[in-house]
Structure 1
């Protein structure tokens, strides 16, 4: 039995409401998220380097500000599942948080010379971003039947890839001219994304449970759901989420530390060191829809496993390379591997949430991956402190290999879920 058959009874008559055009509009919201976070992650380490010599301390600061996001994500996810408002379940969070995120993003370079102001501003920025990141991504499964979610998420990631590419390819070069241009444009894009999402999304989309609910405590609801992951019947889900946490250590650590590697090891300017990452972002952009198509054909988990093998091999191959153009070529292949992994991840988690727990399960996805993003810069920064700058690639490869093992074991243990997943585990590399 496949996803389409399972869904036919529950969603009969709803498939005709699905529109890929609507998914493209939702993608504008993710474009804003990725553009703003990419600039933030790329240039905050360089700002902190003015205050601290240790790469591990820089990485730690890049992670600890996300603690508030870690607390918010599952609570906001559970809360959005319970929301009963004229604007629907997700839009209230989006409308409140984006203006705050835009303002604080714009303010980052203005306060960069004062350490405590910089820390406060980035905490406010990340809190606002994480308050609406889960709800805006939940709009995709809310508007999409399960059997189409890999392809739809390919579109969402394509739009996010455009945001990342613009940040690396344009805003990073503007940073060398004036950092206020980079962060100011990012704030404007966030506000524009709010306008697009507000105008285009359904207030009560067809693939989410829109029935009114009795009032619940989102904190207790989130805590109960997290405790469930420790029960024997959920070991597969837990290991898959743990794999996602682990590979995000490698991904986020490399994104945060590569600008330092580029400046110190490759001899590039700060802006050009970030520009090298354009090859990774551009490749992801090109392959996002292709990766969604592959996931629909061979299954989400097998596709992720292939990507989790490809990326660490490329990291290890990059260790002796000192030519920026060759590093860029390796990152092109890395973007393909990352697309195979990342395009499948959120739809896989959303499928486990069914129609009534999509927001919470996407909250879990972001909670686990946020832990990876929090610890990744510190872990890879520590590796650089201990064994030199090449430790960034060695540590990154190790975490991707560990994620491969966890994902493979989790796939074998995954049993009953809201969506039939036999197609996702029948072919493994």
Structure 2
């Protein structure tokens, strides 16, 4: 299967998954606000899916790494998880109490978290290192389109049909599952074939390393680059998810917009992200991934800080457009940087899961932290608080860049000495 063709199918799978997640971030906070007055509690409950991801995603990633079937190691799980997640998602607006709403949120998050790292892991499975950046850009463009989809549903459907609106993302998920299963078997991928070859070389114990071994290797390795990269992901994930999870109540409380209008604030930023995604991959190839990541986070923080000064609906839309351009530079390149540091094709799924752990751990803590600050000092400065969190991530990646330069210098010295 050609690189472009497999990239399309991976993008379709992630588009379907993120269609439900983005609509979830847009509209479930409003469902929670019907039962809760505290922004901190709303933020914490909205981060529950990310907390579950901390446990589920690395586990399912590692489990899929060690799965061997004629369909491959990722597709069997996607074939079950995606339809189940779609069916549970439809139930969210039909809940009648906080307890039932939280229970359905938990079920949806638990099932959907099993599919997230698997579709992403298909990128390093099928594509060689030199093509992963551009392929990941194409995949992220597809997922960014879901921001537009969620915003359009909010603008055009939610105010008139608040329950029926949840059906649309579910239908997208089910349709994409059918297309994916009809066309993709990851048993044919480079990564799967390499893992099978490594299994054969390992002798009578063909299973790959356990998750605890992989984590222990990360922690004990004297090379701290992977840990610093994951810390950067943690901090910026907190800033990103806070900006997404709390934007609808921010628009209603600080800008005086209706629920549908506030949910639509992110629509233009989705277009900006799409426009910036592929150039972000090209810039990383030219100037380096870490420099591109750092520059993107600075743009993200500066844009949101400026949005605090221009606190109108128009000013917020412009700020989110610029912030999304910066975020694209991070999201396109951070996962690729971690994949390229992986020691073996047998751990791609686990590394994707660990990336997700730190990203969604930030997604759990970020909205709760920013929501707590909002409870103390009000909604007006929310964008500035998010910008401060993003700048902490910039400081970490600067340190990571220094280690990367030292590593390259040491490797060059070793190579010259061996000649």
Q: Give the TM-score taking structure 1 as reference length.
A: 0.89
| Partner deviation per Cα, 1:166-187 (whole Å, 9 max, x = no partner) | 1112344311111222211111
Match of 1:99 in 2: 83
Change (3 A) 1:164 1:215: farther
Aligned residues: 402
Shift of 1:232: 4.3
Match of 1:357 in 2: 347
In 2, the alpha carbon distance for the partners of 1:59 and 1:211 equals 43
| Matches for 1:234-245 after TM superposition, within 5 Å | 234-245=223-234
| Matches for 1:64-213 after TM superposition, within 5 Å | 64-111=48-95, 113-204=96-187, 205-208=189-192, 209-211=194-196, 213=199
Shift of 1:414: 4.4
Shift of 1:415: 8.3
Change (3 A) 1:294 1:175: same
Shift of 1:388: 1.4
Match of 1:6 in 2: none
| Partner deviation per Cα, 1:299-336 (whole Å, 9 max, x = no partner) | 22111111011111111111122321222122221121
Does the 8 Å CA contact 1:18/1:145 hold for their aligned counterparts? no
| Partner deviation per Cα, 1:96-154 (whole Å, 9 max, x = no partner) | 1111100111111111x221111111111111111011011111111111011111111
SS at match of 1:87: coil
Does the 8 Å CA contact 2:29/2:245 hold for their aligned counterparts? yes
Match of 2:362 in 1: 372
Shift of 1:207: 3.7
| Partner deviation per Cα, 1:166-212 (whole Å, 9 max, x = no partner) | 11123443111112222111111111121122122243212442417
In 1, the alpha carbon distance for the partners of 2:171 and 2:17 equals 12
Superposed CA RMSD in Å reads 2.2
Shift of 1:410: 2.0
Query: Is 1:319 paired with 2:308?
Result: yes
Does the 8 Å CA contact 1:39/1:182 hold for their aligned counterparts? no
1:40 to 7, 16, 24: 24
Shift of 1:393: 1.2
Q: Which shifted more, 40-49 or 319-328?
A: 319-328
In 1, the alpha carbon distance for the partners of 2:392 and 2:271 equals 26
Match of 1:409 in 2: 399
Match of 1:425 in 2: none
In 1, the alpha carbon distance for the partners of 2:174 and 2:286 equals 37
Match of 1:14 in 2: none
In 2, the alpha carbon distance for the partners of 1:133 and 1:369 equals 12
Match of 1:288 in 2: 277
Does the 8 Å CA contact 2:265/2:313 hold for their aligned counterparts? yes
In 2, the alpha carbon distance for the partners of 1:51 and 1:374 equals 20
In 2, the alpha carbon distance for the partners of 1:156 and 1:23 equals 7
Could you list the runs of 5+ residues in structure 2 that have no partner in the other structure?
413-419
Does the 8 Å CA contact 1:78/1:222 hold for their aligned counterparts? yes
In 1, the alpha carbon distance for the partners of 2:367 and 2:25 equals 10
Match of 1:5 in 2: none
Shift of 1:55: 0.6
In 2, the alpha carbon distance for the partners of 1:330 and 1:315 equals 6
